[in-house]
């Protein structure tokens, strides 16, 4: 049986800057990383693999260089990696993205029964948290978001019990398999790859599925299949605020400046 982990390669957002003129992200020279939430999704899949002897497949839709990120997944123990990459997949919003991913999962399910699809809660670039639920809806899987603990998996009875982390409370939910769960960071600590596994992964092949393989209707994917379109990306203007001194140099001086300012504004 298969656990499928959806992984997105994202730019290392701490290093991303927005082009002030065009309002678009400057992606040049910015390194790509595995979406941090997806690293936790992968780790959870690997733990299920260790515990229930499942196989782990990772899938990602993205440009060809996403292969590097998928190899990192192989290096920590994923058994199989599929990259969905084609020009016609490009420009997808969450609707079109989940369409391609769901179709790929269907394709994998033809060969081997799928127990679970595990996604990250959200990405650090798109931030929508819609793709996981989109996949679950399209496939008719149980949908369990914001999971911070898997209580139990019963493969015989095809049941799953998880704990969801909500604001100010936890919720324990039982649901039938197959299920899509999306995980939060608290669920686990991702493992570190061993060197033999890194060397193995470096030579491993990542299966490439383009649209010749997927044969999806071009109207439902990519830019054309997207219900939304980006008009403009911009950093919101800073409405208020003022930089005082350049206090970072000396903490004592900085503290004094701050106190003066607060006194001046009658705040303390």
Give the interface with another protein as residue ranges (CB under 8 A).
12, 14-15, 31, 33, 189-196, 198-200, 203, 248-249, 251
Least CB distance to ligand FAD at residue 26 (A) = 15
Q: Are 226 and 95 contacting, i.e. CB atoms less than 8 angstroms apart?
A: yes
Question: Are the CB atoms for 148 and 187 separated by under 8 Å?
Answer: yes
Q: Which residue, 129 or 197, is less far from another protein as judged by CB? A: 197
Burial (CB < 10 A; 0-12, 13-18, 19+), residue 78, is: buried
Beta-carbon contacts of residue 121 (< 8 Å; ≥ 6 apart): 37, 129, 132, 145, 146, 182, 183, 184, 185
Q: Does 42 bind ligand FAD (CB under 6 A)?
A: no
> Taking the complex as a whole, how short is the minimal distance between the CB of residue 196 and another protein, in angstroms?
7
Least CB distance to another protein at residue 199 (A) = 5
Run of H or E residues at 12: none
Would you say how long the chain is, in residues? 268
Between residue 109 and residue 128, which ones bind ligand FAD under the rule CB under 6 A? 119-120, 122-123, 125-128
Closer residue to ligand FAD, CB minimum distance, 233 or 263: 233
Q: Which does 236 bind (CB under 5 to 8 A by kind): ligand FAD, another protein, none?
A: none
Which partner in another protein, ligand FAD, none is near 7 (CB below 5 to 8 A by kind)?
A: ligand FAD
Q: DSSP letter string over 143-206?
A: EEEEEEEEEEEETTTTEEEEEEEETTEEEEEEEESSEEEEE-GGG-------HHHHHHHHHPPP
Residues between 124 and 183 with contacts to ligand FAD, criterion CB under 6 A: 125-132
Of another protein, ligand FAD, none, which one does residue 126 interact with (CB within 5 to 8 Å by kind)?
ligand FAD
Tokens 């290093």 locate to 15
Q: How far apart are the first and last CA of the chain?
A: 63
7 lies in the binding site for ligand FAD (CB under 6 A): yes
- Interaction between residue 230 and ligand FAD (CB under 6 A): yes
Q: Which residue is nearest to ligand FAD (CB)?
A: 126
Interacting residues with ligand FAD (CB under 6 A): 6-8, 35, 37-38, 41, 59-62, 91-94, 97, 101, 119-120, 122-123, 125-132, 228, 230
């Amino acid at each position: 049986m298969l656990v499928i982990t959806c992984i997105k390669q994202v730019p290392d957002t701490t290093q991303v800057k927005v082009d002030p003129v065009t309002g678009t992200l400057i992606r040049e020279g910015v390194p790509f990383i595995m979406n941090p939430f997806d690293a936790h999704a992968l780790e959870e899949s690997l733990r299920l693999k260790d515990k229930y002897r499942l196989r782990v497949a990772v899938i990602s839709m993205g440009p060809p260089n996403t292969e590097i990120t998928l190899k990192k997944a192989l290096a920590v123990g994923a058994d199989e990696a599929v990259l969905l990459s084609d020009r016609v997949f490009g420009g997808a919003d969450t609707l079109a993205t989940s369409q391609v991913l769901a179709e790929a999962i269907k394709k994998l399910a033809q060969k081997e029964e799928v127990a679970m699809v595990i996604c990250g809660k959200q990405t650090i670039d798109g931030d929508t948290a819609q793709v996981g639920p989109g996949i679950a809806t399209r496939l008719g899987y149980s949908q369990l978001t914001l999971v911070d603990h898997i209580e139990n998996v019963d493969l015989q009875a095809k049941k799953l019990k998880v704990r969801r982390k909500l604001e100010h409370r936890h919720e324990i939910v039982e649901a039938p398999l197959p299920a899509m769960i999306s995980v939060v960071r608290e669920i686990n600590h991702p493992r570190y790859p061993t060197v033999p596994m890194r060397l193995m992964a470096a030579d491993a092949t990542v299966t490439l599925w383009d649209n010749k393989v997927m044969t999806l209707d071009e109207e439902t994917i990519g830019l054309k299949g997207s219900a939304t379109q980006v008009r403009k990306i911009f950093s919101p203007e800073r409405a208020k605020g003022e930089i005082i001194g350049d206090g970072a140099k000396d903490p004592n001086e900085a503290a004094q400046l701050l106190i003066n300012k607060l006194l001046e504004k009658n705040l303390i």
